[in-house]
Chains A and B, each alone.
Chain A
Amino acid sequence: MSTRTARPLFDPPIVKRAILDSLRKLNPRHQLRNPVMFTVFLGSVLTMLLFLQSLGRSGGESPWFILAISAWLWFTVLFANFAEAMAEGRGKAQADALRKSRQDVIARRLANNKLYEMVSSKDLSLGDIVVVKAGELIPLDGEVIEGVATVDESAITGESAPVIRESGGDRSAVTGGTKVLSDFLIIKCTAKPGESFLDRMISMVEGAKRQKTPNEIALDILLAAMTIVFLLACATLVSFSHYSVIAAGRGTPITLTVVVALLVCLIPTTIGGLLSAIGIAGMDRMIQANVIATSGRAVEAAGDVDVLLLDKTGTITLGNRQAVEFTPAAGVSIERLADAAQLSSLADETPEGRSIVVLAKQKYGLRGRDVEGLGGHFISFSARTRMSGVDLEGRKIRKGAVDAMENYVKESGHEFPRSLREQVDQISKVGGTPLVVADNGQALGVIYLKDIVKGGIRERFAELRRMGIKTVMITGDNPLTAASIAAEAGVDDFLAEATPEAKLNMIREYQAGGRLVAMTGDGTNDSPALAQADVAVAMNSGTQAAKEAGNMVDLDSNPTKLIEIVEIGKQLLMTRGALTTFSIANDVSKYFAIIPVAFASTYPELGRLNLMGLSSGILSAVIFNALIIVVLIPLALRGVKYRAVGAATLLRNNLIIYGLGGLLVPFVGIKVIDLILVGLHLA
């Protein structure tokens, strides 16, 4: 998992920079991006002008009231800017760290005539072949075409342990800015300077190229529509108020300052001010989880995923099978079988071999022995014989796959016991792998090798099911084995004997049924499926092709991460919804604060609606409206907590907290602010 320590929410240097940035963001062109906040911005300017105008005239509204309203409207804009700057600041700090590793280096380019020429990394182009020796930085992203080396990728992954990169296979991709620690690599460049993984990562974390995601655009439309409705309600109020003054024959019409104040209080400034911060913070949380998403769209899609395709090995089961039981053939004592099994495996360094030694020790108390010291000769496994073993003091002990061992036993002139065959079938049926053990050609019994399902994974899948997500296990095993592991792990479905084509077809099928599919992959042969999936997480240890095809890269190369990614996506969407609800629900109380005061001179009876007993309702409401943005910044950055309890419960909980809370909180908040204003003799 990530070795990167979580940054505190209000890191002093980030806050400092964010304050400066929030002033810089006052640029009208920046404000124009957000219709809600642009309306507030215009309101601030308008009230400022009204203040200046009021200075030169006597009577009417108090200039200090106008100034106070104007000041708090400016604060509203600044607070929203600050929220965005805070969210960006966290990314920027990360980007600065990354930028340090993106230095220009002198690369050794292999010229046609097999000679090196030294060029700056920024002069490299696609397809160039470079040689990188131990201690040097890799100039650009590329594919290893020759050599094996250890590489320090901590600059990108934060993981200090070096990784191995080699030509061919699934560990051939290298990233520019990482350092070769041993040996040398010959690399073919697969990215242009300025478009490397590191560059993309910097621009992603910085949010420089951040585009609004589809859902954000839709929400923006809703917020803009609400702004227009309230703009209309407030604008027409001026003429209504004029008419009422004539009709009632007393009072003065509502002032422009109050109309602007009412407008700003009603339009959804809370969500409008925090919307972009929520989006950036979602990306940031991905980065904290060591996942780089290539777009905000992908993060959003993660929340929508219905189907997870999970590779069996490494995700659902531990990488290796383990011995869990010895079953002797008829007439053979279990001790004899255990002894033979242990002897055959003492020098076997494979994980399966080691697990046999461990089982013999745990269950039958057989201590480890030094086979070499006993004069034994280890026969290692080969694909041809499909068995391994040891020759010791005239004994030939062998263990291996069932059919290979059956032949071996028969060739040695022995019977292959019928009881053993039954046991073997039994193990296969429950998804295990049987290994037959023979001593001098006589079959002694069978070792049961089992795929070990990761601890806690069953609960995790149950949780996913409650989230409405279907899990599908992908494995190369035969259907029988796959079914048994699937049942044990509690996945909803499985794809056995999976080929890349089968995987791709499965994704297409799910998508045709309207589902969104997420998967992880690392090999080149995963690329088509990755490209087809809606959320495709490529392992950082994987090939360049896989990384290109995916829309996220997991720097930890941990396939279980997919579940975390889905949660982050859901959190992002929930935060948006929660704050929108809160923002709209807030309006009710603001009417009670503003309306009684706004028309007091025409219809003093409306004072009865001043339920909160405010003495300075309008200013208090405006101040509350500004401060609530700051108060909610931590929530916007951290996100609303996601719990896998099913949509109905989740909706109920969030509606109570953010809907009902949104109705009630401002009543208290506005009253408290009003009391403070009174206490300070400002009201």
Chain B
Amino acid sequence: MNIYAAIEIAVFFVILLALVKPLGLYMARVYRGTPCGLNQVLLPVERLIYRLSGVRPDSEMTWQRYAVAMLLFNLIGLLAVYGIQRAQGWLPLNPQHLGPVSPDLALNTAVSFASNTNWQAYSGESTLSYLSQMLGLTVQNFLSAATGMAVLVAFIRGLTRQKVAEIGNFWVDVTRSTLYILLPLSFVLAIALVSQGVVQSFGPAVDITTVTASTDAEGKPVQTQQIPQGPAASQIAIKQLGTNGGGFFGVNSAHPLENPTPLSNFLQVLAILLIPAALCYTFGDLVGDTRQGWTLLASMLLVFVPLLALGLWAESVGNPQLADLGVDANASLQQSGGNLEGKEVRFGVGASVLWSAATTAASNGSVNAMHDSFTPLGGLVPMLLMQLGEVIFGGVGSGLYGLLIFAIVAVFIAGLMVGRTPEYLGKKIEAFEMKMAALVILIPPTIVLAGTAFAVSFDAGRAAVTNPGPHGFSQILYALSSAGNNNGSAFAGLGVNNVFYNSLLAIAMFGSRFWLIIPVLAIAGSLARKKQVPISAGTLPTHTPLFVVLLAGIVVLVGALTFVPALALGPIAEHLQLLSDSAP
């Protein structure tokens, strides 16, 4: 890795952390309903939405009603995306005259976008019309992100309220998240991206004559190329900000028209972590103790930074076997060095690895490099970050409520060690909360492990693998880890657009999203009913460096202990093979 990459990463963290407080504070005001600066413009719009849809914003919901509203809302969204894809051939804004999407792919994509996974089995430019992209995918990008944020806010209400059954109004939370937070940020980011050359048009693809001729698959010379167009910038902004990650084009943010310059790359990777990081501050502000929020953010960084460093190291060193062949992979003035296979030269190792870690830590899943081509350890980093349960930043809202569930488990174990029954922010953690927390922690690994076992046990599952040995296993494990944790990034390589994987992964994505939200809301409901225990010297402090370490430790331990055997057969075995084979 060269010095410029190091500087870029340092600047990235400085800017990210500098934005946490202002954005966090703004979001806290939005959810509190206090003036946030955009009220004059947006309040009339908000009221209009309520009037048109018949929502009574002051009528609050129990956790059950909240869950039902959330499920219905997402089900309708899911069906709409499915319908639009199937009918796109008869609908406008289809300059390429693309036919209907196949049922299994349409289902996979619909579930994928409703569940904020945004797994990409489709290739946008050759499968989806502009209408499908805009009305289907972009709208879901907003709404699935808003759903995650709404659930988080409901959970925070559970922590802060006392002796009530209601945890807020789902419609209001979704509306405010979209209108006040996601829309303005996306607007600004989309404009910035357009300035860097990201396309935003309704025109059809452009045929051009290339300067030099190349050959096609049959060896015939060709000198024309089709340059895809479309309303990309507007979708890419929310794709990054809403931790969605489903690209406008097939190769996602590695595509020159989706992510043309180092600056657009920087803005996009910043957008991935922006809201998840700032929500930590929002949380602290809403519970009345910002230290609590900073603690959670510190825990995230404590896991994220070392894993990022591992990835950077692995990719900078590159493949030891190539070094044995006399290939110089060191960074120098002439070359950026490291393992550049599958990476865009305009980004290099530093920006590619930073992206790979950010996109998998947050449940974004967009890529600017092909993870499949990373070194074994470089590929292990994104895989492990997903397997940790998407709680290190995680999805907007969903990452933080996931981490809060881990915090509940952490205080449960550690709270006992200070000689009290456990409590978090003054709420007693009892059998019901533990039961629901156990579900939240159990479901994703269950889906990942059982799904992987299922895939490796059938020919249909094995046939998709394009590499021998442990790397092939990594491909399958990665795909299931991605779908089973609502990330959506792909290891590439694996041939996933078939009935087997489209269906298996759709089930995985659906399960790990909605079966997690329900227990999370149940905990919120149960906590809202409880009294708040006042803090004393005997209370376990949850804002100390020690708690940062403890929480990070629990997250890593649960994730690592669950996946170490599987990882041993994938990236770890592959890495050790590289070392063994290259030894003289």
Write out, one digit per residue, whether chain A residues 502-518 have a CB within 8 A of any chain B CB (1) or not (0): 00000000001111000
B441 contacts chain A at the CB level, 8 A cutoff: yes
A515 and B553 alpha carbons, distance in the complex (Å): 31
The segment out of B209-217, B323-331, B561-569 that lies at the interface is B561-569
Give bound CA distance, A658 to B414, whole Å: 11
Candidates A214, A237, A466, A574; contact of B430 at CB < 8 Å: A214
Contact with A along B514-537 (1 / 0, CB 8 A): 000000000000000001111011
Cβ-defined contact, A647 with B538, below 8 A = yes
Is A239 within 8 A of B453, CB to CB? yes
A222 within 8 A of partner (CB): yes
Report whether over half of chain A's contact residues are helix, strand or loop; otherwise say mixed.
Answer: helix
Interface string of B451-487 (1 = CB under 8 A from A): 0110011000010010011101100000000000000
Interface set, chain B 528-572, CB cutoff 8 A to A:
531-534, 536-541, 544, 546, 550, 553, 557-558, 561-566, 568-569, 572
B361 contacts chain A at the CB level, 8 A cutoff? no
Determine, out of A18-26, A314-322, A402-410, A579-587, the stretch whose residues face the partner at the interface.
Answer: A579-587
The digit string for A552-575, where 1 denotes a CB below 8 A from any CB of B, is: 000000000000000001110110
In the complex the two chains form, is B473's CB within 8 Å of A244's CB?
yes
B15 at the interface (CB under 8 A from A): no
B456 touches A571 (CB 8 A): no
Select B569's contact among A577, A584, A599, beta carbons within 8 Å: A599
Q: Is A119 an interface residue (CB 8 A)?
A: no
Chain A residue with Cβ nearest B449:
A236
Binary contact readout B419-457 vs A (1 if CB under 8 angstroms, 0 otherwise): 111100010011101110010011001100110110011
A residues 605-651 in Cβ contact with B at 8 Å: 605-606, 608-609, 642, 646-648, 650-651
Contact (Cβ within 8 A) A234 B412: no
Stretch of A3-11, A103-111, A153-161, A299-307 at the chain-chain interface: A299-307
From A94-102, A225-233, A670-678, the one touching the partner chain is: A225-233
Chain B CB within 8 A of A218 CB: yes
A244-B473, A577-B416, A599-B573 known; A651 vs B540 contact (CB < 8 Å): yes
Note all chain B residues with C-beta closer than 8 A to A469.
Answer: 536, 538
CB distance from A493 to the nearest CB of B (A): 14
Q: Scoring A residues 451 to 488 as 1 if CB is less than 8 Å from chain B, else 0, what string do you get?
A: 00000000000000111111000000000000000000
Determine which of A232, A466, A599 lies in contact with B449 in the assembled complex, contact meaning CB atoms within 8 Å.
Answer: A232
User: Is the CB of A118 closer than 8 A to any CB of chain B?
Assistant: no
Which B residue sits closest to A511, measured CB to CB?
B531
Contact (A239, B456) CB under 8 Å given A603-B470, A655-B414, A658-B417: yes
Q: Find chain A residues with CB under 8 A from B472 CB.
A: 247
Q: Is the CB of A236 within 8 A of B453?
A: yes
Given the interface pairs A225-B441, A230-B561, A240-B453, the reply to whether A303 lies near B421 with Cβ below 8 Å is yes
A364 CB–B CB distance under 8 Å: no
Task: Confirm or deny: B415 has a beta carbon within 8 angstroms of a beta carbon on chain A.
Answer: yes
Interface: A248 (CB within 8 A): yes
Q: Is the CB of B577 within 8 A of A605?
A: yes
Given contacts A232-B450, A581-B417, contact A595 B565 (CB under 8 A): yes
B87 at the interface (CB under 8 A from A): no
B456 touches A655 (CB 8 A): no
B546 touches A655 (CB 8 A): yes
A578 on the B face (CB < 8 A): yes
Most buried by A among B438, B446, B537: B537
Instruction: Give residues of chain A (203-225) contacting chain B, Cβ–Cβ below 8 Å.
Output: 214-215, 217-219, 221-222, 224-225
Residues of chain A contacted by B429 (CB below 8 angstroms) = 218
Interchain nearest-CB distance for B555 vs A (Å): 13
- Structural contact, B445 and A233, CB atoms closer than 8 A: yes
Instruction: Tell me if B195 counts as interface (CB < 8 A to partner A).
Output: no
User: Given A236-B452, A266-B561, A647-B541, is A304 in contact with B421 using a C-beta cutoff of 8 Å?
Assistant: yes
Would A577 and B417 count as touching, CB distance under 8 A? yes
A654 within 8 A of B: yes
B576 at the interface (CB under 8 A from A): yes
The answer to whether B418 has its CB under 8 Å from any CB of chain A is yes
Alpha-carbon separation in the docked complex, A262 to B470 (Å)? 21
A576 at the interface (CB under 8 A from B): yes
CA distance A573 to B423 in the complex (A): 13
User: In the bound complex, what is the Cα–Cα distance between A595 and B570 (angstroms)?
Assistant: 13
Measured between beta carbons, the chain B residues less than 8 angstroms from A243 are 456-457, 462, 473
Contact of B416 (CB < 8 Å), options: A465, A467, A576: A576
Flag if B536 contacts A605 (CB, 8 Å): no
A236 to B452, CA, bound (A): 8
Contact of A236 among B450, B470, B541 (CB under 8 A): B450
Beyond A584-B557, A606-B573, A651-B417, whether A247 also contacts B469 by CB under 8 A is yes
Closest B residue to A306 by beta carbon equals B536
Considering only residues 483-519 of chain B, those with a C-beta below 8 Å from chain A are none
A591 and B417 within 8 A (CB): no
Q: Is there a chain B Cβ closer than 8 Å to A380's Cβ?
A: no
Q: Which of A69-113 contact B (CB under 8 A)?
A: none
Which of B413, B421, B462 makes the CB contact (< 8 A) with A300? B421
Q: Does A242 count as interface, using CB distance less than 8 angstroms?
A: yes
B579 contacts partner chain A, Cβ-Cβ < 8 Å: yes
A229-B442, A603-B576 known; A240-B456 Cβ under 8 A: yes
Most B-side CB within 10 Å, residue of A224, A574, A595, A647: A647
Q: Does any Cβ of B come within 8 Å of A241's Cβ?
A: yes
Interface code A368-380, partner B: CB below 8 Å = 1, 0 otherwise? 0000000000000
The closest CB in chain B to the CB of A213 belongs to B421
Q: Is the CB of A467 within 8 A of B537?
A: yes
Whether a CB of chain B sits under 8 angstroms from the CB of A418 is no
Given contact pairs A229-B445, A573-B419, A239 touches B457 in the complex (Cβ within 8 A): yes
A228: which B residues are within 8 A, CB to CB?
A: 442, 446
Q: Is the CB of B568 within 8 A of A605?
A: no
When distances are taken between beta carbons in the complex, the residues of chain A under 8 Å from B453 are 235-236, 239-240
B442: contacting residue among A225, A237, A591, A650, CB under 8 A: A225
B537, A647: Cβ atoms closer than 8 Å: yes
**What chain A residues lie within 8 Å of B539 (beta carbons)?**
468, 647
Instruction: Tell me how far the C-beta of A437 lies from the nearest C-beta in chain B, rounded to whole angstroms.
Output: 47
Q: Mark B389-422, 1 if CB is under 8 A from A, else 0.
A: 0000000000000000000010011111111111
Asked whether A605 and B565 contact (CB < 8 A) given A240-B453, A247-B469, A573-B416, the answer is no
Cα distance, A512 to B434, chains bound together (Å): 24
Give Cα A465 to B536, complex, Å: 9
Contact B435 A221 (CB under 8 A): yes
B224: A residues at CB distance < 8 A: none
Selected contact of A577 from candidates B415, B426, B446, B457, CB within 8 Å: B415
CB distance from B230 to the nearest CB of A (A): 40
Q: Is the CB of A304 within 8 A of B561?
A: no
User: Does A33 reach chain B (CB closer than 8 Å)?
Assistant: no
* A233-B538 CB under 8 A given contacts A218-B431, A304-B420, A304-B421: no
**Residue A114 at the chain B interface, CB threshold 8 Å:** no
CB distance from B90 to the nearest CB of A (A): 44
Chain A residue at minimum C-beta to C-beta distance from B442: A225
What's the minimum C-beta distance from A631 to chain B, rounded to whole angstroms? 19
Least CB distance from B561 to A in Å reads: 5
Q: Are A232 and B445 in contact (CB under 8 A)?
A: yes
User: A652: CB under 8 A from chain B?
Assistant: yes
Interchain CA distance A469-B419 in the complex, whole Å: 12
Minimal Cβ-Cβ distance residue in B for A515? B534
Pair B438/A303 contact, Cβ less than 8 Å? no
Q: List 13 A-B contacts (CB under 8 A).
A: A218-B412, A225-B441, A237-B566, A242-B457, A247-B468, A247-B472, A300-B421, A595-B564, A605-B580, A646-B537, A648-B546, A651-B546, A651-B550
Task: Sort A-B residue pairs by CB-CB distance and give the 7 closest, nearest first.
Answer: A468-B538, A577-B416, A570-B419, A468-B536, A225-B438, A577-B417, A605-B576
Additional A-B contact list (20), CB under 8 Å, known A228-B446, A591-B561, A646-B537: A225-B441, A225-B442, A229-B441, A232-B450, A233-B561, A233-B565, A236-B449, A246-B462, A247-B465, A513-B531, A577-B413, A580-B413, A584-B561, A587-B557, A605-B576, A647-B418, A647-B539, A648-B541, A648-B544, A655-B417
